[in-house]
Structure 1
Amino acid sequence: MPERRSRKDAARNREAVLAAADDLFARSGSPEDITMVDIATAAGVGKGTLFRAFGDRAGLLRALYEARLDPLREAMESGPPPLGPAASPQQRVPALLDALLCFKLDNRRLALSLEESGSGSPYQAEHYERWHGLLRAALEQIPGLTDADFTAHTLLAAVRADLVEYLAGREGVPRDTMRTQLANYTAKLIERGPGHRASIGD
């Protein structure tokens, strides 16, 4: 019984921490200024609880990112076309990229903080590998398209958090414009018909 209560307490503390962190990041203009102490205080737990549950600040950011990503992941795994697995690759590739762009626009500060944490390279993050794998698998099904692995990297570069933040924040590019630009860019890199080979210069 004590062990079960301990697990329940740990789960409850974890949810409280994620909710507090979510609120703080949503209201902050500079997420880098939010410390583990700030989050622990807002959640009503000790700082040691955060480190036991998440390891470090980067671990907490990853957990929060994954929690926000859950609805999108569910749609990708079992939802209907164009995002779900039953979609044709020509449908799914642009749908996946559009969904990722919208997610990063909705979570700009968090995505930027996560991609800049740790090694400073988003390419080493688990979520990057997942998106790359999904895109590569879809691209490999498009006849005539060569080097799906590199093409997937190229497409993901267009939705890096630092680029999204620069365009949306510094340049003030409207959301719909960014989505249209990404869709047009994607169309130049993927198969559009029999015998058509994707080319950046098309």
Structure 2
Amino acid sequence: MSDDEQRGQGAAPVPRVGGLLGDLQAADERPVAPRRRADAERNRAQILTAAERLFAEQDPRTVTMDRIAKAAGVGRATLYRSFPDPSSVAVALLDEHERRLQGQLIYGPPPLGPGAPAGERLAAFYLAMLDLLERHLPLALGAETGAARFRTGAYGFWRVHVRTLLVAHGVRDPDPLIDIALSPLSPELFRFQRHELGLSVERIGRSLTAFGRRLLESGDGD
């Protein structure tokens, strides 16, 4: 029978050391959990800082867990306790930026927030997403390329937002249009247009906002 089972049946607990030694022992034990939490937070901060630098300095697809661990000065076991793969590190970095935009979509002033026509809100959303991609493209490429893009919580949020706009406009069958509307915001496409074709953010934005308005104008299902 294990010690835990014995205690469960009423066995007397192991006595603590009394007197000054016992007090010192208790004092030593109490800070352990907070100290471990502080260490974990410090390690996480080091990991995210190092990873953001790596994603910015090289092709995000070449960033490995080994490189992140070495750059952060932590062991592989420490890294894997917080993140399963490089993509999850990029997601954590990108998450804060995307959360700010999500808050603006829900609570911000129009046209990005509620109160403007659906076509104007979609156009404003496109511009806000282009700004996010321009400022944080390495993170987006590390977190949201290929099929991984569709599995992120942020993409799910964007889908709900676009669907809400389509429904508000009176589109009878909005679901097939949602991902079509979001496809121009692929990080890979943005990189191709910006860095291979050399298109400016302003030029891409003008075309996308016109596309969004036309999409809703012609998407009433009549």
Normalised TM-score (structure 2): 0.76
Separation in structure 2 between the aligned mates of residue 87 and residue 48 of structure 1, nearest angstrom: 50
Whether 1:69 and 2:87 are equivalent positions in the alignment is: no
Question: 1:93·1:139 contact (CA, 8 Å) conserved in 2?
Answer: no
Q: Which has the larger radius of gyration?
A: 2
In the other structure, the counterpart of 1:182 is 208
In the other structure, the counterpart of 2:107 is 78
Separation in structure 2 between the aligned mates of residue 56 and residue 31 of structure 1, nearest angstrom: 12
For the aligned residue pairs, the C-alpha RMSD in angstroms reads 2.1
Unpaired segments ≥5 residues, structure 1: 192-196
Out of 12, 16, 39, which is 1:9 matched to?
A: 39
Q: Which deviates the most, 129-138 or 42-51?
A: 42-51
Whether 1:22 and 2:52 are equivalent positions in the alignment is: yes
Separation in structure 2 between the aligned mates of residue 198 and residue 70 of structure 1, nearest angstrom: 29
Shift of 1:88: 4.0
Q: Encode CA deviations 1:7-62: one digit per residue, 9 max, x unaligned.
A: 22212221221122112222x14222322222222222222111100122221121
Q: Encode CA deviations 1:120-161: one digit per residue, 9 max, x unaligned.
A: 342233221111111111221113x33222222111011111
1:34-113 paired onto structure 2 within 5 Å: 34-113=63-142
Q: How many residues are matched? A: 190
Normalised TM-score (structure 1): 0.83
Question: 1:93·1:135 contact (CA, 8 Å) conserved in 2?
Answer: yes
Question: 1:96·1:135 contact (CA, 8 Å) conserved in 2?
Answer: no
Change (3 A) 1:12 1:149: same
Change (3 A) 1:128 1:103: same
Question: 2:60·2:141 contact (CA, 8 Å) conserved in 1?
Answer: no
Q: Which deviates the most, 153-162 or 12-21?
A: 12-21
In the other structure, the counterpart of 2:188 is 162
Separation in structure 2 between the aligned mates of residue 29 and residue 40 of structure 1, nearest angstrom: 16
Shift of 1:87: 4.1
